[in-house]
Structure 1
């Protein structure tokens, strides 16, 4: 059994162009502009507009650093539809828009500018909650940051944690990728999830014994121990 499977695996040939496309897709999605450009030059892999990578990552890094005004200004220049309540294509994402304006409010509270935070909530957050009732509760939770001087002792203090910035940046990054007609995540993770799903399907529903990839970091297919024992000649 092991010899047969090994022969089958060795017979499978992946076109180098396919492997290169997966590598480039990952580099572009993760924002590695210089590495992607170098890979394109060295491999000859076709690539789209790589300039968009630097712009996207600049905006993401601004959000993660709490520089929301700079992030919103850059976003307005590059993808204004993402900040429009009623964009021309009708594709407004109020959840994303709320998350961005909420993060701006959070940064104002963090800086101790309560007056600016209140003005921002009135003109930017409240209209979104009126347009989408599901945002009323998140708005109320956000406003609780004003329960203490710097928000640290409020029931919503978790919004001040750096992880909140990362969540907002991740959501915005995905939206920009969609606006650039790119996938929200690299193809490789999706393929690995499909591999895991297929392995479970074959093993549990069809009872097939085959080399499985259990450690995705190592990515070496191995027969289950029981199958290897059955395939080995008995000694006696």
Structure 2
């Protein structure tokens, strides 16, 4: 363990690279205030993409609040070609709008919206039709949260759509859709798992404490997260 710690301390990891890794996460995930403060504290020059964070944040907040209409308006103002060139994303937003109508128990408007706005998409795409039917099945239950697809009403559904929108905006700006930090963490635990099958060495079991443990202790199935 002592030798391993000495090797880690001797590793040449530049603070600048670590700072850029953290900034990449903050910018990609839309934490504008944190990104600006971090750049100031770390002495990192201002990035042009910081200006877009606020718009992405507004879109994310609108979706998470169930206001799909506002999210679409901001998105079209930011880049009207995103939805024009991505029919799947457009359908997902329309589907989410339908979900919000059902959540508000606005049955008549939900039926009208589905028939006028979504039926055509379903007829042209079998996958879209399946999703539409799944969403409409929520109406078959008095308490639609008890439906087999009641998960569509969970906050996680809104978060999923918000994340897909965020990725689409980043892609349209030729930016990375996903932050590097979570990927590196996954690679760390995958590498440890592969290597521990061959040799014994200190491993990180918890990313928050980053304490080192003997690799044999990692066989108890404890989650690294």
**Normalising by the residue count of structure 2, what TM-score does the alignment of the two structures yield?**
0.83
Deviation string for 1:76-131 (max 9, x for gaps)?
111322322xx3xxxx251x222210111122233343343233223332222223
- Contact 2:63–2:161, Cα closer than 8 Å, also in 1: yes
Please, which moves more after superposition, 107-116 or 137-146? 107-116
Report the Cα offset of residue 8 of structure 1.
Answer: 1.7
Alignment of 1:74-89 (within 5 A): 74-84=74-84, 87=85
Aligned to 1:177: 170
Deviation string for 1:43-82 (max 9, x for gaps)?
2224332011111011111111111111111111113223
Report the Cα offset of residue 154 of structure 1.
Answer: 5.7
Report the Cα offset of residue 155 of structure 1.
Answer: 5.7
Aligned to 2:31: 32
Structure 2: distance between partners of 1:67 and 1:4: 55
- Contact 1:5–1:211, Cα closer than 8 Å, also in 2: yes
Aligned to 2:206: 215
Query: Structure 2 stretches of 5 or more lacking a match?
Result: 218-225
Q: Of the candidates 103, 106, 109, which is equivalent to residue 110 of structure 1?
A: 103
Structure 2: distance between partners of 1:142 and 1:3: 57
- CA pair 79-124 structure 1, distance change in 2 beyond 3 A: farther
Does structure 1 residue 15 correspond to structure 2 residue 8?
Answer: no
Report the Cα offset of residue 157 of structure 1.
Answer: 4.0
- SS of residue paired to 1:217: coil
Does structure 1 residue 57 correspond to structure 2 residue 50?
Answer: no
Q: Of the candidates 114, 120, 124, which is equivalent to residue 121 of structure 1?
A: 114
- SS of residue paired to 1:212: strand
Task: Look at both structures and tell me which one has the larger radius of gyration over its CA atoms.
Answer: 1
Residues paired across the two proteins, number: 216
RMSD between superposed Cα atoms in Å:
2.4
Does structure 1 residue 186 correspond to structure 2 residue 179?
Answer: yes
Runs of 4+ in 1 over 6 A off after TM superposition: none
Query: Structure 1 stretches of 5 or more lacking a match?
Result: 227-236
- CA pair 216-93 structure 1, distance change in 2 beyond 3 A: farther
- Contact 2:196–2:215, Cα closer than 8 Å, also in 1: no
- Contact 1:105–1:120, Cα closer than 8 Å, also in 2: yes
Please, which moves more after superposition, 99-108 or 35-44? 35-44
